[in-house]
Amino acid sequence: MKKRLSLVLALMLLVSIIAGCGGGAADNKDDGAAKDAVKVGFIYVGPKDDGGWSEIHDIGRLEMEKNFDGKVTTIIKESVPEEKSEVLSTVRDMVDQGATIIFGTSFGFMEGLAEGAKEFPEVTFMHCSGYTVAENMGTYFGRIYEPRYLSGIVAGMTTKTNKIAYVAANQIPEVVRGINAFSLGVKAVNPEAKVYVAWTNTWYDPVKEKEAAAGLIQQGCDVTAQHQDSVATMEAAKEAEILSIGYDLSAVESMPEVYMTAPLFDFGEYYTQVVQSVMDGTWKSEQYWGGMKDGVVALDTMTDLVPADVQEKVKEEEKKILDGELFVFSGEIKDNKGEVRVEEGQKMTDEEMLSVDWFVDNVVTNK
């Protein structure tokens, strides 16, 4: 009996030693990987699953993290208000958690990030869609106006009432530029059509977005487009049984009844390149503005709701953009007050596009 008991105890001890060694090895490996990993922070203006802007950045974050296979870990903060104090507080929290690279993904984060860059010179800051730079702070964005223009062609060729709804967030150059690019696409194929803009003054508020879209639909608009972070505009289109163009993220699964296409961003590879350059010690502050040829922006695959002739036209114009034969903001361009803003044969410069505050002549807006 004693012999059997001794054998049992010996086996139990052996099992516990093996289990202990196995668990300890795994824990030590995880601790070592986490300790050595570069920590990267992402600040979002909306929920990470908003169906639009914040979600496409989060998709890019996850792709970047996967590319580094444990060498990089990330921390996020969702729904951060665009007040300077809120952003700076978030920056401080992330630095306290060990972040050495921070991406701020909304225009209104600019002042808070700039202040953070001064306070933490050892941290690399990247701001999406802004213009303030410093030795340790750069900016990045995509030339989304290129696929915006193409989506305008889709809208211009599918509208029957010649009234197109555009639900817009805040009146800043980024949004104005998008409205103008879209409207120039509309005008290129349908000079009779008008683009009616309703403003929500917020990036993400599904209730306001849907109300704004419904108001334009009541005025006779039969196609909707948007510069908003949720699918609420498309929900209004669905209820009205009209067609819609999204933004940021494909809605082919969430809104198949109305979704035709959308101008899209893809930041995964860019985030990977930036983080790698910081790790290599080759990062330098810059103002990056990548286009369709760089893979940062694209027009989503058009659904079967887009007629074949429309798809063919869009693909023709897309090739021209990629080949450098078509520049969206080429003159002559008049504003909606009749003033020539871009002369015949001229092109808007990056500086002019980044500060644009006027609307092209087929835009109807109360601002």
- What would the mean pLDDT of 47-72 be, rounded to a whole number? 97
Q: Phi, psi at residue 246, to the nearest 5°?
A: -90, -160
CB 183 within 8 A of CB 153: no
Query: Architecture of domain 38-142+267-294 in CATH?
Result: 3-Layer(aba) Sandwich (3.40)
Name the amino acid, one letter, at 223.
Answer: V
Structure confidence at residue 276 (pLDDT): 99
CB 327 within 8 A of CB 304: no
Residue 21 has pLDDT above 60, yes or no: no
Residue 134: which of 107, 162, 113, 108 has the closest Cα?
113
pLDDT digits (tens, 9 = 90+) for 61-113: 999 999 999 999 999 999 999 999 999 999 999 999 999 999 999 999 999 99
Band of residue 2 on the pLDDT scale cut at 50, 70, 90: very low
* Domains 38-142+267-294 and 145-262+300-364 agree in fold: yes
Structure confidence at residue 23 (pLDDT): 35
Name the amino acid, one letter, at 192.
Answer: E
The residue count of the chain comes to 367
- What would the mean pLDDT of 33-59 be, rounded to a whole number? 92
pLDDT digits (tens, 9 = 90+) for 159-193: 999 999 999 999 999 999 999 999 999 999 999 99
Q: What percent of the chain has pLDDT over 90?
A: 89
> If you ran DSSP here, which 8-state letter would residue 300 be given?
P
Summary mean pLDDT of the chain: 92
- What's the predicted TM-score (pTM) here? 0.88
Band of residue 6 on the pLDDT scale cut at 50, 70, 90: very low
Structure confidence at residue 62 (pLDDT): 99
Structure confidence at residue 367 (pLDDT): 78
Name the amino acid, one letter, at 262.
Answer: A
CB 297 within 8 A of CB 147: yes
| Distance from the first to the final alpha carbon of the chain | 93
73 forms beta bridges with 39
Residue 30 has pLDDT above 50, yes or no: no
Structure confidence at residue 230 (pLDDT): 96
CB 73 within 8 A of CB 30: no
CA diameter of the chain: 104
Band of residue 221 on the pLDDT scale cut at 50, 70, 90: very high
- What would the mean pLDDT of 319-340 be, rounded to a whole number? 98
Alpha-carbon span 138 to 218, nearest angstrom = 43
Alpha-carbon span 297 to 291, nearest angstrom = 6
pLDDT-wise least confident of 26-35, 158-167, 297-306, 354-363: 26-35
Structure confidence at residue 36 (pLDDT): 83
Q: For the CA atoms of the chain, what is the radius of gyration?
A: 25
Q: What percent of the chain has pLDDT over 70?
A: 90
Band of residue 34 on the pLDDT scale cut at 50, 70, 90: low
Band of residue 59 on the pLDDT scale cut at 50, 70, 90: very high
CB 107 within 8 A of CB 129: yes
Domain 145-262+300-364 - what CATH class? alpha beta
Instruction: Give kind and range of the element (H or E) at residue 168.
Output: strand 163-168
Which 3-state string (H, E, C) describes 258-286?
Answer: CEEECEEECCHHHHHHHHHHHHHCCCCCC
Residue 271: which of 148, 138, 97, 144 has the closest Cα?
138
Instruction: Give kind and range of the element (H or E) at residue 124.
Output: strand 124-128
Q: Where are the domains of the chain?
A: 38-142+267-294, 145-262+300-364
Q: Which residues contact 5 (CB under 8 A, 6 or more apart)?
A: none
> If you ran DSSP here, which 8-state letter would residue 46 be given?
S
CB 263 within 8 A of CB 293: no
